[in-house]
C-alpha cells in the first residue's frame, strides 16, 4: 500500500535539492524574466518562446530529483489550458489546424488524453505548451500523478514563480482554452 505522507516527504526533500542543482546564473535569469518581458516590445509569440526555452533550461538540471520521464503520460490526462498564442505556435510548427468551431463546452478534461498524446508520449514535445513544461512532479514515481489519484491528493510541485508571472501576463491578453478545444486528436 502506498503512503502519501511518506511520498510527500520525499517530494519535499527533492524540492529542497532543486536550488543546489540549478546554476545560480539560471536561477537569476528566472528571477528577472517577468520584469524583463514586461519592459519588452517583443511579440507574445517571442515571449512565449523565451519562457519555453528558460523553463526547459531550468528543468533539464533537475532530472535526478523528478519522477517525470518520457512514456509516463499521466499529466497528459489532466486539464491542459493553453493560450491562443501557444495554439497558433503549435499549429505553425506541426501543420495541425486549429479547430474553426469549438463545439466542446466541457471545461474539465481530467482523465481524457491530450490531443497530442500517442503511446503515452507527447507527439509535440518540442512545441508543448507552458503548462506542460512547468508540470514537474517531485514525487519518487508517478503513482500519485495518475488521473484517478491526482485530484484527491495535493503534493509538492516545482514552481518557478517569475516564469509563471510572465506567462500569466500573456495569458491575460489571450484566449485560453484546453488544448482539446483547440485541436482534434492527432
In a domain? residue 177: yes
Average pLDDT, the chain: 91
In a domain? residue 186: no
Give 69-123 pLDDT, tens digit per residue. Answer: 888 888 888 889 999 999 999 999 999 999 876 665 667 788 888 999 999 899 9
* Nearest residue to 75 (alpha-carbon basis) of 12, 7, 158: 158
Range of 22's domain?
4-181
- Distant-in-sequence, close-in-space partners of 89: CB < 8 Å, separation ≥ 6: 45, 48, 49, 127
- Residue tagged 503511446 (cell numbers): 119
In a domain? residue 103: yes
In a domain? residue 133: yes
Single pTM value for the model? 0.90
Give 58-73 pLDDT, tens digit per residue. Answer: 999 998 999 888 888 8
Confidence at 52, pLDDT banded by 50, 70, 90: very high
In a domain? residue 61: yes
Query: Do 58 and 160 meet the contact criterion of CB atoms below 8 Å apart?
Result: yes
In a domain? residue 42: yes
How many folded domains does the chain comprise? 1
Give 116-139 pLDDT, tens digit per residue. Answer: 999 989 999 999 999 999 989 999
- Cβ burial of 91 (10 Å; 0-12, 13-18, 19+) is middle
In a domain? residue 119: yes
Angstrom distances, CA of residue 162 to CA of 24, 37, 49, 134, 168: 15, 10, 15, 12, 10
Amino acid at each position: 500500500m502506498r503512503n502519501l505522507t511518506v511520498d510527500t516527504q520525499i517530494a519535499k526533500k527533492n524540492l529542497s535539492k532543486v536550488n543546489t542543482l540549478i546554476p545560480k546564473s539560471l536561477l537569476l535569469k528566472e528571477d528577472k524574466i517577468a520584469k524583463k518581458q514586461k519592459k519588452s516590445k517583443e511579440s507574445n509569440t517571442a515571449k512565449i518562446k523565451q519562457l519555453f526555452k528558460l523553463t526547459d533550461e531550468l528543468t533539464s538540471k533537475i532530472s535526478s530529483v523528478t519522477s517525470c520521464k518520457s512514456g509516463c503520460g499521466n499529466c497528459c490526462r489532466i486539464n491542459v489550458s493553453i493560450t491562443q498564442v501557444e495554439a497558433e505556435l503549435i499549429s505553425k510548427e506541426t501543420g495541425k489546424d486549429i479547430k474553426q468551431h469549438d463545439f466542446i463546452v466541457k471545461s474539465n478534461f481530467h482523465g481524457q488524453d491530450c490531443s497530442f498524446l500517442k503511446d503515452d508520449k507527447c507527439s509535440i514535445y518540442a512545441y508543448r505548451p507552458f503548462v506542460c513544461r512547468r508540470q514537474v512532479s517531485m514525487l519518487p514515481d508517478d503513482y500519485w500523478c495518475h488521473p484517478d489519484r491526482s485530484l484527491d491528493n495535493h503534493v509538492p510541485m516545482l514552481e518557478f514563480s517569475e516564469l509563471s508571472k510572465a506567462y500569466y501576463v500573456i495569458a491575460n491578453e489571450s484566449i485560453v482554452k484546453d488544448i482539446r478545444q483547440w485541436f482534434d486528436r492527432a
